[in-house]
Structure 1
Amino acid sequence: MQDRDDETLAHQGGAVSHPHRAYIPAAGHDFLLPFYDPLNRLLGVGALHDELIAEAHLEPGHRVLDVGCGTGSLAVRIRGKYPQVEVVGLDPDPKALAIARRKAERAGVTVRFEQGYGDALRFGDAEFDRVTSSLMLHHLDLPTRRGMLREVLRVLRPGGSLHLLDFGRSEERSSRFLSRLLYGAEDLRENSDPRVAALLTDAGFEAVERVAGAATRGAQTG
């Protein structure tokens, strides 16, 4: 979900026009969207989502914002495991959101899906207990990453936490090949542990840590 004001990202090859902004779709290219969920299954993303959800330590009454929710897999999974938690999914891609809404309906869960951008959240301060994001950070250039993290910190309540899942540089060779094929090697270099940890710390997060063997990172507010 990379986005910039009033321009297309021709050098990325997968930009989609929007009335106000452009963004990179969930699968990197709009025509690949039907293959996005099967690819995630191939990469074992469901198990990684379970690790992220467990690390979030959700409790009844919590409000969760899933930034860059794409086709809604993580948001629907959270709601299914924790029916007493309110979940909001945010993504700029209306096609992905349509899939997400159908997915929630099939699962019999209620998730509020909204169209929007991670660096311009239309929520008030301290509205959420947890913010999650899965396979989205690599789409963002550096200024947009910084803007998104500042916005996430703003909407999190004191003691809340952000939980990120994304491609890193230490996963299996087959997964690394597939992720680079779709998203580009430069994006993966920007996802190295030191760079992401520094961004989280600079944004004001505390207790930044990596969990398990996947590129799953947690960061808490003060």
Structure 2
Amino acid sequence: MNTEEKVIEEANKYFERNKNAITDVNEASKNAYLANDFIRKYITSYPGTIKSILEVGCNYGYNLNFLSKQLGVECWGIDPSDKAIEYGNARWKNVNKKVHLAQGISNRLPYNDSEFDVVMVGFLMYVTPREMISDTVLEVNRVLKAGGFLILTDFDTPINYKRSNKHNSGMPVYKEDYAKRFLPMGYSIIEKNSYSHSGDCFNPDVQERVSTQVLYKEELESLYLKA
């Protein structure tokens, strides 16, 4: 079994483990609420600037259903789990025409260059195998427009940690501040919310720190001083 096949298998197992917890009241995560707050404020000041959102690692699209209803924008999602995508497409088919889901891998996104105004990546990077992480970062950057926003949610440790995965010993997890991988590519951090799985505030336990960071992809010409 190659790496991509392992990722698909693990994504299906994740969906199966968690599908019994699927309820209407839980169909939006904290990072989706934070994304909604930011985008709503932004489009109030700059109407018409955000028309499309992509979530990489969308599971069955519950965040996208929430965001499309709140913001009225078209939302796309991609996830390795064919079971999650099948479930999501069936769930939203007749209730939300603005949600578009596809099965796929983060290091090979089936979208055009600069296609999206916002790309969301939530708790994906830390479970991405290291042989796929660089291409995943490049693909996220490729499909996001210059002048667009990357909303990145993951563990947020000051030092990189490799830890065992309690659900799959063959696929360890990697905790780090993933925003740092985008900064050399012309991104600026414009907003950061620190919290943890156990609460809404900063956690002193380094292993439990989580953040949602909003990064702005600078226009290429703005990165250079005019001589």
Ranges in structure 1 where 5+ consecutive residues have no aligned partner: 1-6, 10-20, 171-178
Counterpart Cα distance in 2 of 1:203 and 1:102: 38
Question: 8 Å contact 1:166–1:215 — kept in the other structure?
Answer: yes
In structure 2, relative to structure 1, the CA distance for the partners of 1:80 and 1:139 (3 Å cut) is same
Amino acid aligned to 1:96: A
Count residues with an aligned counterpart. Answer: 191
Question: 8 Å contact 1:64–1:132 — kept in the other structure?
Answer: yes
Amino acid aligned to 1:47: K
Bigger Cα Rg = 2
Aligned position for 1:49: 32
CA drift at 1:160: 0.3
Question: 8 Å contact 1:64–1:87 — kept in the other structure?
Answer: yes
Aligned position for 1:221: 217
Residues 175-186 of structure 1 mapped to structure 2, 5 A cutoff: 181-182=166-167, 186=172
Aligned position for 2:132: 144
Matched, 1:101 2:89: yes
- TM-score of the pair, normalised by structure 1: 0.70
Aligned position for 1:201: 183
Amino acid aligned to 1:103: R
Amino acid aligned to 1:220: Y
**Deviations 1:28-85, CA, capped at 9 Å, x for gaps:** 46345233245588x99623321233234464551111112112111212112122x1
Question: 8 Å contact 2:28–2:62 — kept in the other structure?
Answer: no
In structure 2, relative to structure 1, the CA distance for the partners of 1:197 and 1:47 (3 Å cut) is closer
Counterpart Cα distance in 2 of 1:39 and 1:200: 33
Counterpart Cα distance in 2 of 1:201 and 1:183: 31
Question: 8 Å contact 1:127–1:157 — kept in the other structure?
Answer: yes
Amino acid aligned to 1:166: D
SS for the counterpart of 1:70 is coil
Question: 8 Å contact 1:163–1:219 — kept in the other structure?
Answer: yes
Share of identical aligned residues, percent? 20
Structure 2 residue corresponding to 1:69, chosen from 58, 69, 73: 58
Aligned position for 1:8: 2
Aligned-CA RMSD value: 3.4
Question: 8 Å contact 1:149–1:203 — kept in the other structure?
Answer: no
SS for the counterpart of 1:126 is coil
Question: 8 Å contact 1:131–1:156 — kept in the other structure?
Answer: yes
**Deviations 1:79-112, CA, capped at 9 Å, x for gaps:** 12122x1111112321110111123236444311
Aligned position for 1:4: none
Aligned position for 2:18: 36
In structure 2, relative to structure 1, the CA distance for the partners of 1:98 and 1:52 (3 Å cut) is same
CA drift at 1:24: 2.3
Residues 64-143 of structure 1 mapped to structure 2, 5 A cutoff: 64-83=53-72, 85-105=73-93, 107-143=95-131
Aligned position for 1:191: 175
Question: 8 Å contact 1:153–1:205 — kept in the other structure?
Answer: no
CA drift at 1:153: 1.4
Counterpart Cα distance in 2 of 1:44 and 1:97: 15
